[in-house]
Structure 1
Amino acid sequence: MTQSTVNAKPVLGMAEFVMLMAFMTSLVALSIDAMLPALDVIGHHLGAKDIHESHLIVSLFFGGMAFGQLFFGPYCDARGRREAIMLGLGIFVMGTLVCMIADDMTTMLIGRLIQAFGVSGPRIASMAVIRDQFAGEAMARVMSFIMMVFILVPMIAPMVGQWVISVASWTHIFTLFLVVSSGVGLWYFIRQPETLPVEDRVPFSWAQFFRSSKFILTHRDVIGPTVAMGCVFGAFLSYISASQTIFVGFYDVGDMFAYVFAFLAFSIGLASYMNSRIVMRWGMKKVTSMALYGVLVFSAVLVVEMVIFSGLPPLPLALITLFIGFFFVGLLFGNLNAIAMQPLGKLAGIGAAIIGSLSSIISVPVAMGIDAFLTDNLYPIAIGFLIFFSLAKLVITPTLKAEPEPTES
């Protein structure tokens, strides 16, 4: 298969396809962002030792996804996209039920790991569905449309989570997860046909797994953007995990937390919209290069602000700086993933799995490492941004400058 060909022509209209894929992939964001306003409440109820243990409810979720993606990647290449999605949603529901009955932090974290393992099914298979039908700049454009819808979840989910804990128990946040996952699964099952023909399926074998893994992990145009994605998302995840601590604990915004979080999430949504307009004209590599310079300037400015204001700039200044910086982060998300997926052809399933797993394996310890230094100021966040955005630019620069390597046919 060449870079420009795809396995199947789209069956759904673009609007419905984008909405369905956005809701499918947004289960990850919903499972994280709706929890944010409740982290302190859950930590107190389950006997968390400190704020860093409560942060694990978010950061360990991505650790569970790292293993889930490695399972569901080969599975959806061997058994098809639909079966992987339905199995993953079933496991997600099981994990959600464990979280609902948790009476200690250990049980809660086990439930979150099961949830994360399960949600990897729809996460990986939906990426493969998109790659089955689109390639290159067209895929980056579709991913940007999906991100535009997807970003509404981080904007709305904390408000919903805050409303739930204000009128009912935090356990009903998990009731919300059950309702949404069931609805999305039914929608997909009824409306979206299988996109991987039987003749193109790859029966699982360890020999094939290692051959495919070797191709993926030694392909410059896959491994560079994957490691870059892990660095970028790891730094960003440190902010997400600690966002309640930052805005409620450091800045004392109280019930305004959900609106502050939504304001900053809107920046990423705006970036995704802009990317959908410019990526077909400029190309994803040029946009990625520009965005990398943007995040480096942003993180350097943030460090300077930390020095001037002893680690805690005035809230309006911090919000303006973060809004501008997250715009460039938003440009990176869809494009880095599309660049990494571009050479994979029929290996889209296992490719999405390894890309997602490796980027999670990198991002989780990055986020936990940054958050471990968080005490009463934003120095760790600012310095972490500067270090890991710089590393991202370093590892992806050869891919951005070089001619494409051969793709897997």
Structure 2
Amino acid sequence: MGGREFIVLIAALTSIVAFSIDSMLPALPVIGADFALADQNDRQFVLIAFVLAFGPAQIVFGPLSDRFGRRPVLLGGLVFFVLASFGAAVTESWAALLSCRAAQGVGAAAVRITTLAIVRDCFAGRDMARIMSYVFTIFMLIPIVAPAMGQAIVAVTDWHWLFAVLGASGAALGLWSWVRMRETLPVAARRPLDPGSIFHAFREILTNRIALGYTLAVTLFFGGLFAFIVSIQQIIEVIYGMQDWFAAVFATSASAMAVASLGNASLVRRLGMRRISHAALVSFTVLGGVLLIAGLLTVPPFLVTIGLISLIMMSFGFVAGNFNALAMEPLGHVAGSASSVLGTISFTGGALLGTLTGQAFNGTIVPLATAYFLFGLLGLAIVLITEKGELFAVHHDPAD
């Protein structure tokens, strides 16, 4: 497989998670109406079921791919994802739909974990960073394409076809991977299943001040991200009555986050992880407070609300990657297991916090704004304790 084909395939496999979430957003009102859900907040469970299954499942597939190789776990995850997608496409039961969404999340977790492992197997250091930046550049298109695709499908046909498209896409990726993706983990490098390594990684995180502090902080920020994902469709539809503009508005906010992530890659060598992420942490908290005050006083104009949310998500783009790297900094001796544990904690914890925020939606922006402000404030307190009261320091950063 050539370099360009490898990058495109890895990007497509990595994007399966975002596509499975973002493409659903425009369909939520139609799905809710089809099942005659009494509470409009219940439609959020189409998203919640996926992410709550995806988060914990990640911790299982890392050790499995280390034991049995990348290809079997990757292809098995894709088959599971495809079957769950087609199951959702034909179901007429709300409970069955949520079960299929949870199964999709499990399959997607296998795909994501093995995809990252394949990149680590094939590249290291700067080469790995270069490949991942190319992958991320393609990945950035998903928040723009996926909601627009979902909106187009529900505009012309039944929402079940959205799951059929996801299933067909997963099948195409499975066929491509089966034909072109070789096994990247030699038999000699495979390791026996060792649950103890996971417990050891948990213990390392819980007993290291830097690792624990930044793990908790990044979990709060993922809570802000998931609160945005589960709330934004209802904010646009219910508060502002601009459902037809949903795809464009979502793309604007998501693009702000992506631009920040790209900008961070070029700034971090010069300014250091702590300077950038701590400044963005303060920005996230202050902007969340401004949005909360505005929401308590009145219904802010549409452009003001979306503008503030976009700036908040831009702050997230400067925080998430740096906090994750800072949490991993003292865990190099258990990097593989620690990365899996950190991803599970931050994704699952963030999904739970986002769920609580989404379920609190009351026809105003106050629940989302409150979440942004409180998560930022708690994150700021945790980072202050973690850094012993010293923000913006650079002398700890190895890159500096």
TM over 0.5: yes
User: Could you say which residue in structure 2 is the equivalent of 1:172?
Assistant: 161
Equivalent position amino acid for 1:236 in 2: L
1:376 aligned counterpart, secondary structure: coil
What CA distance in whole angstroms lies between the structure 1 residues aligned with 2:123 and 2:280?
23
Equivalent position amino acid for 2:287 in 1: F
CA deviation after TM superposition for structure 1 residue 341, in Å: 4.4
User: Could you say which residue in structure 2 is the equivalent of 1:320?
Assistant: 307
User: Could you say which residue in structure 2 is the equivalent of 1:243?
Assistant: 232
1:156 aligned counterpart, secondary structure: helix
CA deviation after TM superposition for structure 1 residue 95, in Å: 1.4
Question: Do the aligned partners of residues 346 and 171 (structure 1) sit closer, same or farther apart at CA in structure 2, a change above 3 Å counting?
Answer: farther
Question: Do the aligned partners of residues 283 and 198 (structure 1) sit closer, same or farther apart at CA in structure 2, a change above 3 Å counting?
Answer: farther
User: Could you say which residue in structure 2 is the equivalent of 1:225?
Assistant: 214
User: Could you say which residue in structure 2 is the equivalent of 1:8?
Assistant: none
User: Could you say which residue in structure 2 is the equivalent of 1:253?
Assistant: 242
Question: Do the aligned partners of residues 394 and 343 (structure 1) sit closer, same or farther apart at CA in structure 2, a change above 3 Å counting?
Answer: same
1:49 aligned counterpart, secondary structure: coil
Question: Do the aligned partners of residues 220 and 193 (structure 1) sit closer, same or farther apart at CA in structure 2, a change above 3 Å counting?
Answer: farther
With the length of structure 2 as denominator, give the TM-score of the two structures.
Answer: 0.88
Indicate if the aligned counterparts of 1:279 and 1:287 stay in contact, CA closer than 8 A. Answer: yes
User: Could you say which residue in structure 1 is the equivalent of 2:380?
Assistant: 393
With the length of structure 1 as denominator, give the TM-score of the two structures.
Answer: 0.86
User: Could you say which residue in structure 2 is the equivalent of 1:90?
Assistant: 79
CA deviation after TM superposition for structure 1 residue 233, in Å: 1.3
Equivalent position amino acid for 1:331 in 2: F
What CA distance in whole angstroms lies between the structure 1 residues aligned with 2:283 and 2:137?
20
Compute the RMSD of aligned alpha carbons.
Answer: 2.8
Q: Which runs of 5+ in 1 are unaligned?
A: 1-10
What CA distance in whole angstroms lies between the structure 1 residues aligned with 2:104 and 2:29?
20
Alignment of 1:203-352 (within 5 A): 203-308=192-297, 310=298, 312-342=299-329, 347-352=334-339
What CA distance in whole angstroms lies between the structure 1 residues aligned with 2:357 and 2:294?
18
Indicate if the aligned counterparts of 1:200 and 1:346 stay in contact, CA closer than 8 A. Answer: no
What CA distance in whole angstroms lies between the structure 2 residues aligned with 1:139 and 1:290?
28
Question: Do the aligned partners of residues 195 and 403 (structure 1) sit closer, same or farther apart at CA in structure 2, a change above 3 Å counting?
Answer: farther
User: Could you say which residue in structure 2 is the equivalent of 1:64?
Assistant: 53
Question: Which is further off, 205-214 or 139-148?
Answer: 139-148
Question: Is residue 81 of structure 1 aligned with residue 70 of structure 2?
Answer: yes
CA deviation after TM superposition for structure 1 residue 137, in Å: 8.3
Q: Which runs of 5+ in 2 are unaligned?
A: none
Identity between Structure 1 and Structure 2 (%): 32
What CA distance in whole angstroms lies between the structure 2 residues aligned with 1:80 and 1:91?
17
Question: Do the aligned partners of residues 120 and 343 (structure 1) sit closer, same or farther apart at CA in structure 2, a change above 3 Å counting?
Answer: farther
Question: Is residue 124 of structure 1 aligned with residue 124 of structure 2?
Answer: no
Question: Do the aligned partners of residues 203 and 368 (structure 1) sit closer, same or farther apart at CA in structure 2, a change above 3 Å counting?
Answer: same
What CA distance in whole angstroms lies between the structure 1 residues aligned with 2:370 and 2:209?
28
What CA distance in whole angstroms lies between the structure 1 residues aligned with 2:209 and 2:189?
25
Question: Do the aligned partners of residues 385 and 196 (structure 1) sit closer, same or farther apart at CA in structure 2, a change above 3 Å counting?
Answer: same
What CA distance in whole angstroms lies between the structure 2 residues aligned with 1:155 and 1:365?
25
Indicate if the aligned counterparts of 1:228 and 1:396 stay in contact, CA closer than 8 A. Answer: yes
CA deviation after TM superposition for structure 1 residue 349, in Å: 4.6
Question: Which is further off, 36-45 or 214-223?
Answer: 214-223
Give the count of matched residue pairs: 392
What CA distance in whole angstroms lies between the structure 1 residues aligned with 2:383 and 2:121?
25
CA deviation after TM superposition for structure 1 residue 70, in Å: 2.1
Question: Is residue 101 of structure 1 aligned with residue 90 of structure 2?
Answer: yes
1:48 aligned counterpart, secondary structure: coil
What CA distance in whole angstroms lies between the structure 1 residues aligned with 2:306 and 2:89?
34
2:250 aligned counterpart, secondary structure: helix
User: Could you say which residue in structure 1 is the equivalent of 2:347?
Assistant: 360
Please give the per-residue CA displacement for 1:2-43, whole angstroms capped at 9, x wherever unaligned.
xxxxxxxxx963x55543333222111110111111111112
Question: Which is further off, 81-90 or 100-109?
Answer: 81-90
Alignment of 1:24-35 (within 5 A): 24-35=13-24
Equivalent position amino acid for 2:344 in 1: S
Question: Do the aligned partners of residues 63 and 142 (structure 1) sit closer, same or farther apart at CA in structure 2, a change above 3 Å counting?
Answer: same
